[in-house]
A and B are shown apart, each in its own frame.
Chain A
Amino acid sequence: MSDLRTPLARARGLGSARDGLHHWWAQRLTAIALIPLVVWFAISLVMLSGADHAVVRAWIGSPLVMVLLILTIGVGLHHGQLGLRVVIEDYVHGDGRKLALIVAVRFVAVVFGLAAVVAILRIGFGG
């Protein structure tokens, strides 16, 4: 089969809309970032078992935890949104429903992510 693309276009792997590898690559990149983040978060969650409100607030408000927690929630929601999109594309039929669900998932992820970041910053900066 003849390939109408130039060798350069093929090597770049960007597809006809210049977007070919982006989703795949973003999913892998967020996956790699989440390996240390999820290990850290799971250990922290176990260590916080039975902690009261003041202890949890003090933990969330420490600078290192603020950074790692914002990363965990932000990268986690992004990775989840990318994965759910693939699941929706595979199992939801009908273009309208498919598009509506993908958009809804993205909106929910952004709203919850932003709300969580604001909450973390409020705790850290004593709001």
Chain B
Amino acid sequence: MSVANRPVHRPLSPHLQVYRPQLTSVLSILHRATGIALSVGALYLATWVIYAAASPKAYALFQSFNVSIVGRIVLGGWLFCAFYHLCNGIRHLFWDAGYGFELKDAYRSGWIVIAVSLIATVVSWVVGLRLV
């Protein structure tokens, strides 16, 4: 077999696993993942008001899940997804407007997004648990 005819097994792009994870790519994937989670969360939010409009008994059943350990983790996780997607979404809107494309700026805004969404999540948990 000549060199020209030999099959070449090059990785086809985008093959995420052959790249070293970078802040920019990880945040991009996280934006999609949190977006999918929030879409499911929006259905849960709709279910919440539907239960609130139903009987107190039905609402108590719904609430019993929310106040359980699993429920609190889901709701707390939802808050993180919301804050992250919100902050990173604003970052995307700046890009859409043509700002912040320099590599240095993209990294700096990325770290700001991580910091703000984590702080907002922690503050929400602390305030929320105090009110319970």
Contact = CB atoms under 8 A, between A and B. Distances in A.
Given A46-B128, A115-B46, A84 B39 contact: yes
A50 interface: yes
B103 interface: no
Given A45-B79, A49-B129, A56-B52, A32 B93 contact: yes
Contacts of B53: 118-120, 122-123, 127
For chain B, give the interface size range: 35 or more
A77 B55 CA distance: 25
A113 B6 CA distance: 56
Contacts, number: 97
Residue of B39, B56, B83, B90 with most partner-chain A CB within 10 A: B39
A108 interface: yes
B42 interface: yes
Contacts of B93: 28, 31-32
